[in-house]
Every structure is written in C-alpha cells, then in structure tokens.
Amino acid sequence: MGVDMGELRGTHVPVLLERCLELLAPALDRPGAVHVDFTLGLGGHAEAVLERHPAVVLIGLDRDQEALAHSRHRLQRFAGRIHLVHAVYDELPEVLSDLGRPVFHSGLFDLGVSSLQLDEADRGFAYAKDAPLDMRMDQSRGITAEEVVNGYEPGELVRILRVYGEEKFAQRIVSAIVRERAKARIVSSARLADLVRDAIPAAARRTGGNPAKRTFQALRIEVNAELTALESAVPSALDLLAPKGRLVVMSYQSLEDRIVKRALAERARSTGPIDLPVELPGTGPSLRLLTRGSEPPTAAEVAENPRAASVKLRAAERIEERDQGRGAARERPRMSVHGGRGRRRPGEHQEGEGH
C-alpha cells in the first residue's frame, strides 16, 4: 500500500540539507553543470538543488521503484532538466554513457534506508512495526530477508550479524533463530525482533536503543548487497567527476563511513616516492578533502530531524589536472597538511591513529 505524497513531503526532512547545498554550490555555479543524486529517495535534496541552481541538470538514481515514482511527482515542474533512472549507485558509468554525459560536476550520496522505506510498514525494514520480512530496496528482484533468515547456514548468519551489524551477541541470536525456524518459518519482522530481544542478555538490553537494530541493519545490508555496491560506486564516481567537481557522502554507520573514508583518502595523497623533494608528474593528489575527518550533525539538526543523529558527512573536490603536478615536477609540501596535499613523513602522527 502506497504512502500519500503530500503526507511524505510534509514529514520528510532532508538530512543536513543546508550543509550539503553549501558544499555542492561551488561545483554547480558553472554553465552546463550536471548534478548526480545517487540515492534519490523522496527527492528532498534534489528539489533543493534544482531550486537553487536554475540551469543545473539532475540525474537521479534509485533502486526503489516506489521512491522514483514519488520523486517524479515531486520534481515534475523541473521535467525539462531531470533524468530519473532506476539503477543502483554503482551503475553510474552506464547511466552517464546512456545519457551521453562524459562527466558530472557534483554528486550526493545519502546512504542507508530512506524515509519512504522506513515509514512504509509493509516493507519490513523497521523493527518497531510488524511486516513481512522483505527488506529489498528494489522489490522487483533479489533475495528477501525472510529467505536469508530461514535459509542461510548458521555460520553464515553469524558472520553477517558480526560483520554487517557489528553484533557481539551474534552467536546467541543465531542459535535462537535456528531453534525457532526448526519449529516454524520466521516470516514477520515483529517475530524476528522478539527473538533477538529475548536472545540478548537483559543487562545489554538496557542501553543502546532497540536490541534488534544491529540484526536488522545486517540483514538489510546482506539483502541489498549495499557494501559491495558502495565499494565500487565511490571510486567509479570519482573517476567520472569533472575537475573542480565536488562529491558529498553521508553515511549512517561505521562500515559505510570506513569505505568512503578509504576511497577519498587514497586520492587525497601523493602516490610518488616519499623521500623526493618534488612531486613527480602525475603522482600528486587528485582530490582535496573539504571536511576535517567526518562531520557530525549539529544539535539543532538532530533536534529538527532525529534521523540525522548518526550521520557522518564527508566531502571532496576533484583537483584540476594542472594542479596535480602533471607536465612539470612541483615542490612537495614540507609536511602533510589537511586537505591531502603531500604525504605523511615517517613518524608523523595522523589524525585517528593512536599515539
């Protein structure tokens, strides 16, 4: 059963909207700018970009057909400059090729579950609502959470909960699932949430929110192959980002953020020998980091939009080729500075590492 579009527009607050617009704006203030929304969802971020930048062309991707239908309705007044495509975000190269666009100038990833998926009870994403165990973002294809829970070997289920959910009670939870599914197939989100809660020690249930949160996250990631897609999507997006183009990524859990951090960091440092006084042609960084580490939401943002509480934002700008040391060697910075220029010297402390 569908959700009323007017109701969704009234309740859906795009996460970190103003900060995203601020970071993307310099890349969009140019003729012929193309903005890619990799996770279109209900179209809140996309609508704001189109309103603020009247000449920008939007390419919006989403694997969820229902989300695309809502966004098409929401963005219909911009019909002359939007392309909404049913695709996963790692399919950008094919999408751009089909549209005859060699590059794009700004891009936004808003990862995790969309408001539509959380708010529609029959999708099975929310542990607080009873629904069939589905969890597919694209309901036209793929394996369901019900098939994972009832069909996977116990050892594989433990691995998924530990790796994707970072669940320390994975073994206990899976033992409970295996016992239950031997009696009757587990088909509802409420039944699974109850099983998880009962399997976790009482002391551990008192903190950290709903005890089923990590299990549901792990199943969702497995069903939608989210991390596999993200690992290829970010590098391929950076390959197609125009010089002075900008990419903003919002993650909601540490596994996503780690992938994004690694992909950006690899291109924000030199690849040349560390002991040379100059940067060799073609070895300089190709990205400039725009955020210091990952940016958390402000208290005001969380008060306005509780779903922003766990967000981590990272952003980067593609460096123009002439600034990368191509064609002529350039002096290497004396020390590593924020923004990725230069490489860390031996013994130098890097943010996030232990002393």
What residues are designated binding site for S-adenosyl-L-methionine? 43-45, 62, 89, 110, 117
Cα separation, 150 vs 170, whole angstroms? 16
| Cβ atoms < 10 Å from Cβ of 140 | 9
DSSP annotation of 41 reads: T
Residues 6+ apart with CB under 8 A from 77: none
Cα separation, 16 vs 296, whole angstroms? 10
Cα separation, 145 vs 69, whole angstroms? 24
Which residue is listed with tokens 């070895």?
283
Sign of the torsion formed by the C-alpha atoms of 48, 53, 54 and 58: negative
Distances from the Cα of 341 to the Cαs of 149, 190, 229, 352, in angstroms? 47, 50, 29, 18
Question: What residue ranges in the chain does DSSP mark as E strands?
Answer: 34-37, 57-62, 82-86, 104-110, 241-251, 278-279, 287-289, 312-318, 330-331
Contact 186, 219 (CB under 8 A): no
Cα separation, 351 vs 231, whole angstroms? 23
